[in-house]
C-alpha cells in the first residue's frame, strides 16, 4: 500500500499525476515531515508503473525539496515550510480548469458558474 492516494488516468503523463498526488498529500497533511517515502520498486509495484517513471517522480520531488534522501533509510518527506494558502489553492488548478472547460462547453456565463459554486459551498459549510 502507498501512503498517498492516487488514481491514474490515461491522458496526462503518469509522472505528473504522481507528483501532483504526492504534493497534495503533503500539503493536506496526509504525509508529514520525516515520514518514509516508498522506494522506486514499491511505487512501481503498487501502481504497476514503469520503474523509470517512479524514479523520475522521486528525483523530481527531491529536486523540488519535498523529499530528502537519508542514507540507509531511503527517502523521507522533507521539512518543507508550512504550505501557504496560495500553494494550497494551486492544488485546485486542474479541477478549476476542468470546471471552466465544462462550463464553456455548456455555454454558461461566469456568473452562472459562480452561483453554482456558491450554492455548493453553502450546502457543505
Partner 1 sequence: MKPIIETTSLNRRFGRNDVVRELTLQIPEGSIYAFLGPNGAGKTTTIKMLLNILQPTSGAARVLGVDSTELGPRELAQIGYVSENQELPEWMTVSQLIDYCKPMYPTWDDAFCEKLLKNFNLPPHRKLKNLSRGMKVKAALVTSLAYRPRLLVLDEPFSGLDPLVRDEFIRGMLELSEQSNWTIFISSHDIDEVERLADWVGVINEGRLHLSEPTESLQNRFRQIEFTAGPETTSLPATLPANWLVPEMAGQNVRLVESQFNESVTLSTLQRIFPGASQPNINPMSLRDIFLALARTFRFKGETT
**Positions that interact with partner 1 (CB under 8 A):** 8, 10-14, 39-41, 44-45, 47-54
5 vs 41 by CB, closer to partner 1: 41
Q: Rounded CA gap, 40 and 55, in Å? A: 6
Smallest gap from Cβ 19 to partner 1, in A, equals 16
Identity of the residue, 51 or 65, whose beta carbon is nearer to partner 1 in the bound complex: 51
- Total Cβ atoms within 10 A of residue 25: 20
User: Closest separation between CB of residue 39 and partner 1, Å?
Assistant: 8
CB of 24 to partner 1, least distance (A): 20
Closest CB 65 distance from partner 1, rounded Å? 25
Nearer to partner 1, 27 or 47 (CB): 47
**Rg of the chain in Å (alpha carbons):** 17
CA distance 86 to 82: 11
Q: Please state, in angstroms and as integers, the Cα–Cα distance from residue 5 to each residue in 25, 31, 47, following that order.
A: 8, 11, 11
Backbone CA torsion sign across 108, 125, 3, 76: positive
Residue 22 vs 40, nearer CB to partner 1 = 40
Amino acid at each position: 500500500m502507498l501512503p498517498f492516494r492516487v488514481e491514474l488516468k490515461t491522458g496526462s503523463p503518469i509522472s505528473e499525476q504522481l507528483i501532483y498526488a504526492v504534493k497534495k498529500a503533503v500539503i493536506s497533511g496526509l504525509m508529514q515531515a520525516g515520514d518514509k517515502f516508498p522506494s522506486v520498486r514499491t511505487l512501481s509495484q503498487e501502481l504497476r508503473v514503469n520503474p523509470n517513471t517512479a524514479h523520475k517522480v522521486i528525483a523530481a520531488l527531491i529536486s523540488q525539496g519535498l523529499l530528502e534522501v537519508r542514507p540507509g533509510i531511503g527517502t523521507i518527506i522533507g521539512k518543507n515550510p508550512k504550505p501557504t494558502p496560495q500553494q494550497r489553492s494551486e492544488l485546485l488548478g486542474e479541477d478549476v480548469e476542468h470546471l471552466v472547460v465544462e462550463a464553456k462547453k455548456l455555454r454558461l456565463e461566469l456568473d452562472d458558474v459562480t452561483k453554482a459554486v456558491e450554492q455548493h459551498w453553502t450546502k457543505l459549510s
